[in-house]
Structure 1
Amino acid sequence: MDSTEGAVSPAMRHKARHFAMQAIYQWQMTGQSAGEIERQFLEDQPIQGADLDYMHDLISGVVANFEHIDEVYEPFLSRPLKDLDQVDKAILRLGTFELLYRQEIPFRVVINESIMLAKEFAEQDSHKFVNGVLDKVVRVIKD
């Protein structure tokens, strides 16, 4: 691990995405404000070791931009957006947000992280679905 003070490791970013995805899922299910959900996570979850600034950016960014985010990935869905599993939707929103708004992160990193989240939280083959959708999103953004 990098011992440089203030350095952000890939593991810290992974933890930030892990908790951000859970917070986005909670927001989708409850309609609570992003700030309230983030406050709950800071109080109730074992978030030490996560990049908290990045986690905040992800949560607030997805909530603030979810309509645009959904418009970007929706054309690549194999089913209507309203029928999309809520975990898959949270992962796709998070990944698409990073592809659109955090372009300093290599797209392969975003897709790999999204696949890992799908393997951890979603249905058995969701990682293949997430990979396929985000791969198409990358092609549209790069054009």
Structure 2
Amino acid sequence: MSKQEPGQPVKPANQRGAARLAAVQALYQMDIGGAGVLEVVAEYEAHRLGQEVDGETYLKADAGWFRSIVAGVVRDQTKLDPLIGSALQDDWALSRMDSTVRAILRAGVFEIIERKDVPVAVIVTEYMEIAQAFFSEDEPKLVNAVLDRIAKQIRGDQKKKD
């Protein structure tokens, strides 16, 4: 969760970053607690995005971007998981990974596939930064490697052109 100075305008790009972070948190919550997509999206939009929760202020987020990531990951999970699984090292299994890492990878892969208007480099960097916010060990490198492999599969060499 990032702090925001009062009265400081939030740039649209930052609102997308905040939406990505909130989407990862919502996907994690759904994975752990078994809550439904409509319930979780409604809770985030009403009580978290741009709100203060337990003394922390959530950044104002692009609610449409947030909604599209969460709903898209839930809708496409049966396509996303095998793609992620094929990009992992042989000794890694998606089902045995930390729920937060799974949420980050699913959201990142969803954007690589669906948001062709967003450069791969932006997507990979944003989700790697989210991984760094939660982990200090190998997880950010894993997120980078997996998203990079899948981006090359899906979008070819676009990353080099960005």
Q: Same fold (TM over 0.5)?
A: yes
Aligned-partner Cα distance in 2 for 1:126–1:61: 23
CA RMSD of aligned residues (A): 1.7
**1:122 correspondence with 2:135:** yes
Q: Whose helix fraction is larger, Structure 1's or Structure 2's? A: 1
Q: Which 5+ residue runs of structure 1 have no aligned equivalent? A: 1-7
Q: Specify the code of the residue in structure 1 equivalent to 2:113.
A: L
Q: 1:111 aligns with which of 124, 138, 153?
A: 124
Decide whether the 8 Å contact of 1:87 with 1:122 is kept in 2. Answer: no
1:123 shift after superposition: 4.9
Match for residue 94 of structure 1? 107
**1:40 correspondence with 2:51:** no
List structure 1 runs of 4+ shifted beyond 6 angstroms.
none
Match for residue 81 of structure 2? 70
Instruction: Flag the structure with larger Rg.
Output: 2
Aligned-partner Cα distance in 2 for 1:20–1:114: 11
CA 123–36 in structure 1, closer or farther in 2 if over 3 Å, else same: farther
Tell me the TM-score normalized by structure 1.
0.89
Identical counterparts, % of pairs: 29
Q: How does 1:4-43 map to 2 (within 5 A)?
A: 9-43=12-46
Aligned-partner Cα distance in 2 for 1:122–1:40: 26
Q: How does 1:53-68 map to 2 (within 5 A)?
A: 53-68=64-79
Q: Which 5+ residue runs of structure 2 have no aligned equivalent? A: 1-10, 51-58, 157-162
Tell me the TM-score normalized by structure 2.
0.79
1:69-128: CA deviation from partner (whole Å, max 9, x where unpaired): 111111121311211111110000000000011111100000000101000123532110
Decide whether the 8 Å contact of 1:88 with 1:118 is kept in 2. Answer: yes
| SS of structure 2 residue aligned to 1:105 | coil
1:46 shift after superposition: 4.3
Decide whether the 8 Å contact of 2:20 with 2:69 is kept in 1. Answer: yes
Aligned-partner Cα distance in 1 for 2:96–2:29: 17
Decide whether the 8 Å contact of 1:88 with 1:122 is kept in 2. Answer: no
